[in-house]
């Protein structure tokens, strides 16, 4: 098997074509030669009988027999007929078997040694038979010579026309030789055609052997399955030729086989037709599909200067932003904790100074005040909020609030058990982180900066509420508040609240927004505890 595997495809195809053509030619030539030999023999038999009958019906023959002048008067006629039909011999005999005419004059007047004339003499019939002569086997046609005497007819002799079988075989060989020459020409043309065919196939396969193509196909399938980016390919007619598993998963196309369908019917938002027409590469094209932002790279497939297809690779921008912003959020928590550490260091310096100045009462009062605030925060964070991820988020936000001189008040009534498993870490980071960050931004220019946070999970829902004392949200902006790309902070923003709403809806919850009477806004999120088992898959952003 390994030896066969190493034989080039061109050699295999050429060898197969040549062998098939050779076998077919041998088969057809054999059949044709057999039919030719049978047909030639039948033709000679018919010619022998027909020639003999023609001679037997000649009046000159009867006259010559009656006048006993056969050798002198009829022999030239017999020789002429023999030459015309290319017979080996024409023999004329009487009823007693005496030879009247023969190619060998010495046998004239002698009695024939062949016992082959009984059918013609007795029954007046015609027949073909083979006999052996000195020259070899001969094929003979014998007919009776019949004379009409008015009241009756009588057989007065026989006419035999003989053909040498070697002459018959020579004629058959000449025809077969023509067949062989024609067959060799056909074989040669077949080999030449096979050479061109193998070259064409080799060009179509880019010079690759079948085992190499099979190996590439297996590697291609494995690569397409392992690549996390979506990959889509179309041909020159815009028909889908490839869509990998990641692309189906990201675009929710798992329920149907779309291969062979037009790209505009499946994904009309992807402008692959434009690249097909222009032949220009397009990089980092952002497309909104099913409320997700994807980044597409569109590359034309060019062959012999013509665009024969387009390949597109894409990735989910929301996933990338989600990972980036989660890292940013964690970094923010780290910076917040660092700010808290710095602030506590300053407080320790204050205590050290008070003690050195022997202002013990002021130092004690400061310690008691800080202890009360610390106990209050710890009471809520560690005794009432039992989810470690929520604790970490709030600790980071407390540090950030302290750095920005914002009062972040955690409602004393807050209470929540560990969050259900369907609410992932990135989901709760996105929801709480974006709501508190937006509240910080809302109070940034206020004289007194206050943000209140509460979380409750006592019922069937987890309720998260964030209140700020900013300027509030105008009524005409409430509808576009959760729209992708909307932001009052400048360009390349507007993902935060969009992602919050997206995650909340995927988790089966709702989000409400309202303004307080004295200014400021209230964001309230309701997340059901039972969940829907849906992956959020949405980014956290600014």
Tens digits of residue pLDDT in 169-210: 888 888 888 888 888 888 888 888 888 887 887 777 777 777
Residue 468: its pLDDT value, please?
93
The reply to whether 371 falls in a domain is yes
Sign of CA dihedral 419, 423, 424, 426: negative
CA gap 141, 135 in Å, rounded: 17
What gap in Å lies between CA 522 and CA 138, rounded to an integer?
124
Domain of residue 506, CATH code: 3.30.565.10
Q: Is residue 268 part of a domain?
A: yes
Domain range for 126 is 9-171
Q: Verify that 339 and 375 share a domain, yes or no.
A: yes
Q: What percent of the chain has pLDDT over 70?
A: 83
Rounded CA gap, 249 and 228, in Å?
Answer: 10
Does residue 216 belong to any structural domain of this protein?
Answer: no
Verify that 154 and 242 share a domain, yes or no. Answer: no
**Are 287 and 234 part of one and the same domain?**
yes
* 178 located within any domain: no
Residue in the structure block whose two tokens are 């206020």: 446
Shared domain check, 278 and 325: no
Among 311, 331, 359, which residue terminates a domain?
A: 311
The verdict on 259 and 120 lying in the same domain is: no
* Domain final residue pick, 286, 311, 336: 311
Mean pLDDT (whole number) for 221-226: 73
Residue 451's pLDDT is 93
Same domain? 510 vs 417: yes
Residue 402 lies in a domain: yes
Q: Do 347 and 476 fall within a single domain?
A: yes
Residue 272 shares a structural domain with residue 340: no
Q: Which residues pair with 73 in a beta bridge?
A: none
302 with 325, same domain? no
Q: What kind and span of H or E run contains 177?
A: helix 165-204
- Asked, for residue 187, whether it belongs to a domain, the answer is no
Residues 215 and 209: their CA atoms lie apart, in Å, by 10
| pTM of the predicted protein model | 0.42
Distance CA 15, CA 11 (A): 6
Pull the structure tokens for residue 303.
């062959």
Residue 57 main-chain phi, psi, to 5 deg: -90, -5
Report yes or no on 101 lying in a domain. yes
User: Using an 8 Å Cβ cutoff, are 46 and 40 in contact?
Assistant: no
Both 57 and 150 in a single domain? yes
Interatomic CA distance for residues 442 and 513, integer angstroms: 14
DSSP string for residues in 236-304: TTSBEEEE-HHHHHHTT-TTS--TTSBHHHH-TTS-HHHHHHH---EEEEEEEETTEEEEEEEEEEEET
Task: Quote the CA–CA distance of 495 and 478 in Å, as a whole number.
Answer: 16
Supply the pLDDT for residue 536. Answer: 40
Range of weakest confidence among 3-12, 160-169, 463-472, 497-506: 3-12
Which pairing describes strands 510-515 and 450-456: parallel, antiparallel, or unpaired?
A: unpaired
pLDDT score for 375: 61
Shared domain check, 347 and 276 = no
**Domain total for the chain?**
3
Q: Are residues 356 and 485 in the same domain?
A: yes
**Of the candidates 283, 311, 339, which is a domain's last residue?**
311
Residue 207 lies in a domain: no
- Find the CATH number of the domain harbouring 251: 3.30.450.20
Measured distance CA(436)–CA(333) in Å, rounded? 13
Query: Per residue in 455-466, pLDDT tens?
Result: 998 888 999 999
């Amino acid at each position: 098997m390994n030896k066969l595997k190493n034989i080039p495809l061109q050699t295999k195809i050429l060898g197969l074509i040549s062998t098939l053509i050779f076998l077919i030619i041998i088969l057809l030539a054999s059949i044709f030669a057999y039919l030719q030999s049978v047909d030639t023999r039948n033709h000679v038999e018919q010619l022998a009988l027909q020639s003999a009958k023609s001679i037997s019906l000649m009046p000159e023959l009867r006259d010559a027999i009656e006048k006993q002048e056969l050798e002198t008067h009829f022999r030239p006629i017999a020789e002429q007929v023999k030459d015309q039909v290319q017979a080996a011999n024409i023999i004329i005999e009487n009823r007693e078997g005496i030879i009247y005419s023969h190619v060998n004059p010495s046998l004239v007047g002698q009695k024939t040694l062949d016992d082959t004339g009984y059918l013609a003499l007795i029954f007046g019939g015609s027949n073909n038979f083979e006999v052996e002569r000195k020259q070899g086997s001969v094929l003979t046609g014998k007919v009776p010579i019949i004379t009409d005497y008015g009241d009756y007819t009588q057989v007065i002799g026989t006419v035999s026309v003989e053909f040498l079988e070697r002459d018959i075989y020579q004629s058959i060989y000449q025809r077969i030789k023509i067949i062989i020459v024609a067959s060799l020409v056909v074989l040669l043309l077949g080999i030449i055609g096979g050479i061109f065919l193998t070259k064409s196939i080799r060009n179509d396969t880019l010079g690759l052997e079948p085992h190499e193509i099979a190996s590439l196909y297996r590697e291609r399938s494995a690569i397409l399955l392992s690549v996390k980016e979506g990959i889509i390919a179309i041909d020159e007619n815009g028909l889908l030729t490839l869509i990998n598993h990641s692309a189906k998963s990201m675009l929710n196309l798992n329920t149907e086989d779309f291969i062979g369908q037009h790209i505009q019917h499946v994904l009309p938002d992807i402008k692959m037709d434009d690249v097909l027409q222009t032949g220009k590469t397009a990089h980092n094209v952002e497309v909104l599909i099913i409320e997700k932002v994807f980044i597409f790279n569109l590359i034309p497939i060019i062959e012999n200067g013509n665009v024969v297809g387009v390949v597109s690779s894409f990735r989910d921008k929301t996933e990338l932003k989600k990972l980036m912003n989660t890292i940013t959020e964690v970094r923010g928590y780290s910076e917040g904790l660092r700010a808290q550490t710095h602030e506590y260091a300053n407080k320790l310096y204050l205590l050290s100074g008070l003690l050195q100045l022997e202002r013990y009462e002021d130092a004690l009062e400061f310690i008691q005040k800080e202890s009360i605030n610390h106990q209050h925060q710890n009471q809520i964070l560690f005794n009432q909020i039992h989810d470690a991820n929520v604790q970490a988020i709030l600790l980071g936000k407390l540090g950030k609030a302290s750095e920005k001189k914002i009062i972040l008040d955690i409602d004393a009534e807050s209470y929540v058990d560990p969050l259900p498993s369907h609410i992932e870490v990135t989901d709760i980071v996105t929801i709480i982180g974006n709501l508190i960050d937006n509240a910080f931004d809302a109070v940034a220019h206020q004289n007194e900066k206050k943000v209140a946070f509460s979380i409750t999970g006592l019922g069937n829902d987890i309720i998260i509420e964030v209140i700020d004392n900013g300027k509030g949200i105008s009524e005409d902006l409430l509808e576009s508040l959760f729209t992708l790309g909307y932001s009052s902070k400048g360009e390349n923003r507007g993902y935060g609240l969009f992602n919050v709403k997206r995650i909340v809806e995927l988790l089966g919850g709702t989000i409400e927004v309202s303004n307080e009477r004295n200014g400021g806004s209230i964001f309230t999120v309701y997340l059901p505890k039972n969940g829907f088992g849906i992956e959020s898959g949405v980014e956290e952003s600014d």
